[in-house]
Amino acid sequence: MDRSAAQAPAVDGGRRGAVRADLLQLLTLSGPVVMSRLGIMAMGLCDALVVGNYSAKQLGYHALAWAPTSVILTMAVGALTGVQVMTARRIGEGRRDLTGAVLRRGLVYGFWLGFASMAILVLGGPSLLRALHLPPDLARGATAPLIVFSLSLPGYTLSVAATFWLEGLSKPGPAAWSMWAANLVNLAIDLLLVPGTFGLPALGAVGGAWATTGARTFLALATLGYIALMPEARALGVFAKPEPDRAAAIEQRRIGYGAGASNFFEVAAFASLNVIAGWIGALAVAAWTIVLNVAAIIFMVPLGLATGAAVVVGQYYGARDRAGVNRAGCVAFAVTAVFGLVVSLVVWAFASPIAHGYTRDAQALAMAIPALALCSLFLVPDALQVVTAQSLRSRGDVLLPSITHLTSYILVMMPLAWWFAIPLRLGLVGIVWAVVAASFLSGGLLLGRFWILSRRPM
């Protein structure tokens, strides 16, 4: 009997088993991460609902104060991505005792990033608001909540470093539960301070900012407390002063720089689309807000899958298992594509009722419904690009994802959105077409890069 023929079923069975194992690990990791990321959005939504129901004017102050903090915070969170990736690599290398060193470096980075971000916003935020030539009342009203929001940044960056470390260890559950507990803290402070309950002064937008600051401080204490009480904390090197490892420190920062740059390019590019929508008209801004909010909620799932993919790919990369790296990446891409396709069909079919859930304004709906239906075209490539980018960083390719995001979103999407929307008079639909083009470009380039690296020796 031909031995190779006899071995073929066993080999195929082994491959199928490995695929199932990678799929199970991906979903097990990604589920809690998705819940954690949704918790981040829920906190902002809770603030908006409580402040908005108290006063529409105060909601405007709150939203304006939140905007500059979100841009800086997104960059800082990206800069800490190296904690997650390097932790997963150490696990793959079989050096669990070195993961504590990754955490300690991440906490130091996180503290200085948060402190520097806070200082920049406290010192320069009020001047920025005045420089935007906003109505004086609006700039003055947003200044105090902006400063309070800034105070939350050191605690939040510490919580991000701790969360990424737990996720790199394949322990995302505690961070997810801590996030939702922080949401309860946020809601309680909102209800106390925003309208002024139990005789307390009504603080409006400032109260909402204090709620966020309190919740983020609680989140940092909860995640760090959990880590300190972990039975295996000492075995992981959490309390041991690590030996100097300049190469590992540089690699951890390098990964973070790349992710931070990518986050900045995307946030800046999508912020510019708000401006372009504003050039069309106030109702276009409202309609675009609906589209962007729906897309952002959906994006939390690919963001969770990206974390799961980063951990699994990073573990295989640490073990120098090229077949495992490639297989884990392909499994993550397949799951992401299936999710994106299903949710795209849902958004396309139910664009009208979804839009009606946000507003009753007939003119806003006339713009939002076709734009929302069209956005179903970019949900798949947009989901794939974030998962692929994170998988590439986990296998050591940091520069190309950043270059791809710069090219796709800054150099292509921004001018294309203006050209479609204004000179070609396509309006809001033109903006969405620009996002579609940029998403396909970004997703295609990143998938192509992963395929090229999959054929090279590690």
Please spell the DSSP secondary structure of 148-182, one letter per residue: HHHHTHHHHHHHHHHHHHHHHTT--HHHHHHHHHH
User: Taking a C-beta distance cutoff of 8 angstroms, is the pair 32, 176 a contact?
Assistant: yes
Query: For position 261, what pLDDT does the model report?
Result: 85
Query: For position 56, what pLDDT does the model report?
Result: 67
Give Dmax over CA atoms of the chain in angstroms: 88
C-alpha 202/C-alpha 200 separation (Å) is: 6
Residue 369 has which token pair?
């419904």
Would you kindly state where each structural domain of the chain is located, as residue ranges? 17-243, 254-458
Contacting residues for 127 by C-beta, under 8 A, at least 6 apart: none
Q: For residue 4, give the H/E element and its range.
A: helix 3-54
Q: How many CA atoms lie within 13 A of 91 on its CB side?
A: 21
Q: What is the CA radius of gyration of the chain?
A: 23
Q: What tens digit of pLDDT does each residue of 318-358 get? A: 888 999 999 999 999 999 999 999 999 999 999 999 888 87
Q: Which residues of 343-374 are buried (b: 16+ CB within 10 A; e: fewer)?
A: bbeebeeebeebbeebbeeeebbebbbbbbbb
Residue from 389, 413, 115, 450 nearest 271 by CA = 413
Residue 309 has which token pair?
């993919």
End-to-end CA distance of the chain: 36
Q: How far is CA 81 from CA 20, 102, 169, 319, 393, in A?
A: 27, 11, 14, 20, 9
User: Taking a C-beta distance cutoff of 8 angstroms, is the pair 308, 26 a contact?
Assistant: yes
Query: For position 10, what pLDDT does the model report?
Result: 46
C-alpha 372/C-alpha 376 separation (Å) is: 7
Q: Which amino acid is at 36?
A: S
CB atoms within 10 A of CB 274: 15
Residue 58 has which token pair?
């105060």
CB atoms within 10 A of CB 315: 24
Query: For position 428, what pLDDT does the model report?
Result: 92
C-alpha 327/C-alpha 11 separation (Å) is: 15
Low-confidence ranges of the chain (pLDDT < 70): 1-14, 56, 132-135, 282, 458
User: Taking a C-beta distance cutoff of 8 angstroms, is the pair 287, 363 a contact?
Assistant: no
Query: For position 9, what pLDDT does the model report?
Result: 45
pTM of the model: 0.81
User: Taking a C-beta distance cutoff of 8 angstroms, is the pair 284, 361 a contact?
Assistant: no
Instruction: Please return the burial class of 161, using the count of CB atoms within 10 Å of its CB with bins 0-12, 13-18 and 19+.
Output: buried
